[in-house]
């Protein structure tokens, strides 16, 4: 079974621009979560989507947004990029069966550099 | 905030068992202990999880104390490829509580 895939793997953007990152979960997984990882703050939760609905949101400004499509693929968008948005953005998928949340499987991440 | 405490770093000789401790003294009755690891510049990889019984899979063993206030992840025969940051996380097994990663333990396996 193919793992979580993220595109692109590397991205360089300029301050003020916007960026869209994509995540394809493992087949059959319906929950997608996004995380930001920086050397200073470590791994921080951004948001989670299940069945095209945002289920949870971390403590990030409104410049960070996401969505999920009917095929469970997800995108996250960052508008008005700042230098501090430079990070590894990780996507994780999991099976959500009833009320039980199974372990999350992570993709390789998208390395975003803002100059 | 992370609800776990882990040593920042550990060394282990190749071929020996690596024992990674984790304190979670405020763990609730419905919270499981999860372990992930992250090899440099890759996404975190799920290793194992447990509630109160010891667990073993092909990657590792998880020993949880009877009072559930601490646990130990055991890699029975560490290899150089096990060099990574290991994260211990506690969270409910059900619901949609996100994973909260602390700083983890940087394990260095030495030849």
What is the pLDDT, as a whole number, of residue A36?
A: 96
A99 vs B103, higher pLDDT? B103
Alpha carbons B38 and A9: distance in angstroms, whole number: 17
Note the pLDDT tens digit of each residue in A5-15. Answer: 999 999 999 99
Of A33, A44, A100, nearest to B94 by CB-CB distance is A100
Please check whether residue B100 touches A, CB under 8 A: yes
Q: How far B87 CA sits from the closest chain A CA (Å)?
A: 10
Q: What are phi and psi of B30, to 5 degrees?
A: -100, 10
Q: For residue B100, which residues of chain A lie inside 8 Å, CB to CB? A: 45
B80: helix, coil or strand? helix
Q: How far apart are the first and last CA of chain A?
A: 37
Per-residue pLDDT of B43-66, as tens digits, reads 999 999 999 989 999 999 999 999
Q: How far is B102 from chain A (nearest CA, A)?
A: 7
User: Whose CA is closest to B99, among B31, B23, B17?
Assistant: B31
Mean pLDDT of B59-79: 96
Q: Of the candidates B44, B109, B45, B38, which has an alpha carbon nearest to the alpha carbon of residue B77?
A: B109
A56/B42 touch (CB, cutoff 8 Å), yes or no: no
Q: Alpha-carbon distance B25 to B22, whole Å?
A: 9
Residue written as token pair 């990029």: A81
Note the pLDDT tens digit of each residue in A92-105: 998 875 445 567 88
Q: Considering only residues 25 to 54 of chain B, which have any Cβ-Cβ distance to chain A shorter than 8 Å?
A: 34, 41-46, 49
CA closest to A39 among chain B residues: B103
């Amino acid at each position: 079974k193919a793992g979580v895939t993220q595109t692109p793997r590397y991205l360089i953007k300029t301050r003020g621009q916007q960026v869209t990152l994509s995540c394809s979960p493992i087949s059959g997984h319906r929950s997608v979560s996004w995380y930001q990882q920086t050397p200073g703050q470590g791994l921080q939760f951004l948001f989670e989507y299940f069945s095209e609905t945002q289920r949870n949101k971390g403590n990030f400004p409104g410049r960070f947004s996401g969505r999920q499509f009917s095929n469970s693929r997800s995108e996250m968008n960052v508008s008005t990029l700042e230098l501090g948005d430079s990070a590894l953005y990780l996507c994780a998928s999991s099976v959500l069966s009833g009320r039980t949340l199974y372990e999350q499987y992570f993709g390789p991440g998208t390395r975003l550099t803002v100059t | 905030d992370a609800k776990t405490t882990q040593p920042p770093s550990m060394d282990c000789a190749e071929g020996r068992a690596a024992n990674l401790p984790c304190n979670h003294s405020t763990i609730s009755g419905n919270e499981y202990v999860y372990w992930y690891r992250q090899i440099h510049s890759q996404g975190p990889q799920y290793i194992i999880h447990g509630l109160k019984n010891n667990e073993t899979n092909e990657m590792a063993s998880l020993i949880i104390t009877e009072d559930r206030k601490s646990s130990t992840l055991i890699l029975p025969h560490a290899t150089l490829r096990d060099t990574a940051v290991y994260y211990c996380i506690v969270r409910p097994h059900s619901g949609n509580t996100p994973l909260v990663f602390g700083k983890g333990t940087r394990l260095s396996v030495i030849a």
